[in-house]
Amino acid sequence: MSATSHWRGIGQNPIAPSVCAHVKAQLEECYRGPILELGPFWEAIMKNKSVLDIGVVEHSREFTERAGWRHEIFKELASSIMGVDILEDEVEYLRQRGYDVQTCDATSENDLGKCFETVYAGDVIEHVDNPIGLISFAQRHLADGGSAYISTPCPFWWSNIWLAIRDGTYVGNVDHIRWVTPVNALEMAHRAGCVLSGYYTVETHGHTLLRKFGKSLITKTFGRNELFTWAYIYEFKQKV
């Protein structure tokens, strides 16, 4: 079953059982498995490749000065890398430090004038007004055969559910304006004119024996679930 096959080919009711079954089958085909460590995953998709890093600053200047700043890791992997962000002062600060960065709205119609083998937007889509524009911008800057990866938090992570129970409502990051679950990503790909070619779940290990036991018990009882998924990574490709 192709992820390019839209659910409207099955029916016009988006909650009809036949439509939901069609989409669920597509998502099962798209699922690429869990990611337990991000480092090896980043190496697999960026090593010796040209990379565009969308949201390079990661919120504020202090993030760029921390050990483990994502763009610095990417820079060590990629053959070449450019970063873009909307934060002008922070971008200028990074440029003065020697990074190849530009101020750019990655939901706009802007064109950077070059294409990349890998485009990565880490935890950006949940912040922006125009998620379809973000996916389209990423696609516009892909080299032939390239992939755009968009990561975003998972609403079903047990910690988020616990916070909602404990606090009466979930707050989390107050700059977020949406969740993007796999079914949402599939629909966004259709609307952006590209393909959701796969997605991954970034899993938590469980930091105590009790949590590890609980995770094992729940998984054995109910099968694969997203209670221990703290983020998704979606892979989008151009339509062939």
For the chain, domains (ranges, CATH) are 31-238 (3.40.50.150)
For the cut 90, the answer to whether the pLDDT of residue 58 exceeds it is: no
CA dist 161 and 65 (Å) reads: 32
pLDDT in tens, 30-52: 999 999 999 999 999 999 999 99
Specify the pTM. 0.93
CA dist 180 and 139 (Å) reads: 18
Question: Which whole-number Å values give the CA distances from 162 to 44, 167, 169, 176, in the listed order?
Answer: 34, 8, 10, 19
Residue 188: predicted pLDDT: 98
pLDDT in tens, 92-136: 999 999 999 999 999 999 999 999 999 999 999 999 999 999 999
Q: In the chain, pLDDT over 90 holds for what percent of residues?
A: 84
For the cut 60, the answer to whether the pLDDT of residue 18 exceeds it is: yes
Question: Which whole-number Å values give the CA distances from 140 to 54, 111, 116, in the listed order?
Answer: 13, 8, 10
Residue 2: predicted pLDDT: 65
Question: Which whole-number Å values give the CA distances from 110 to 16, 25, 123, 155, 173, in the listed order?
Answer: 39, 35, 21, 31, 28
Band (pLDDT 50/70/90 cuts) for residue 197 is very high
Amino acid at 110: N
For the cut 90, the answer to whether the pLDDT of residue 66 exceeds it is: no
Residue 206: predicted pLDDT: 66
Over range 178-207, report the average pLDDT.
94
